[in-house]
Amino acid sequence: MLVESVGVFRVSGSDKRINSLISKFDAGPEYGKSISFEGYNVFDVADCLKKYFRTLPEPLLTTHLYPFWLHIPDEAQKAKSLQLLCFLLPKAHLISFEYLISLLKFTSTFEKNQMDMSNLSKIFAPSIMWPKAPQVQSKQDYEQSALLIELFAKHSQKLEMTAPSVVPYQVLDLPI
């Protein structure tokens, strides 16, 4: 399985192949639906995904929520607070974030790739959350954001809100 490749998401792919892959995803009317991955390796595809998130005009976890994600005052209620913040995300961001967390959790289950959830969180945190420009993310905020991604992964089944099995408003009553 390709996800078992050592350093997946950490090892860089070829810029030329990554840009070629991106151009195929950007080309209408298919937008990558029937793309062939022949000639690409797992590192090219992984880098393409990271680059996609980094180049969004607005990060997945949105700049206006950035300070709230990082500075939740009540540690005992952190997971519940994160869940409530998720309700403020645009629907497309929330769905994409849930899928990304699922992918990272799946990837972290393969010891052979040497990418546990801590490593994956550190790699993806700056790609999916950043402060409003011109503010630069501090080292402390970077570390906090990586821990946040780990927390989401740890509680993902309880924090998931877009699955067909989730009944609106009842999600607020679920214990976390």
Distance between CA atoms of residues 85 and 11, nearest Å? 32
Per residue in 104-138, pLDDT (tens digit) is: 999 999 999 999 999 999 999 999 999 988 788 89
Number of CB atoms found within 10 A of residue 130's CB: 22
Give Cα separations from 159 to 19, 79, 82 (angstroms): 34, 8, 8
84 band by pLDDT with thresholds 50, 70 and 90: confident
Return all residues near 114 (Cβ < 8 A) that are at least 6 apart. 6, 7
According to DSSP, residue 131 is labeled P
144 band by pLDDT with thresholds 50, 70 and 90: very high
C-beta separation of 11 from 42 below 8 A: no
Answer with the residue of higher pLDDT: 78 or 56: 56
Tokens of 7: 């350093």
Task: List the one residue out of 54, 22, 44 whose CA is nearest residue 127.
Answer: 54
pTM (predicted TM-score): 0.87
Is the pLDDT score of 165 beyond 70?
A: no
Q: In degrees rounded to 5, what are phi and psi of residue 53? A: -65, -40
User: 104 exposed, middle or buried (CB, 10 Å; 0-12, 13-18, 19+)?
Assistant: buried
Distance between CA atoms of residues 159 and 155, nearest Å? 6
Which of the residue ranges 74-78, 83-87, 96-100 has the most confident prediction, judged by mean pLDDT?
96-100
C-beta separation of 70 from 145 below 8 A: yes
Task: List the one residue out of 145, 116, 152, 103 whose CA is nearest residue 128.
Answer: 145
Give the DSSP letter string of 70-93: H--S-GGGHHHHHHHHHTTS-HHH
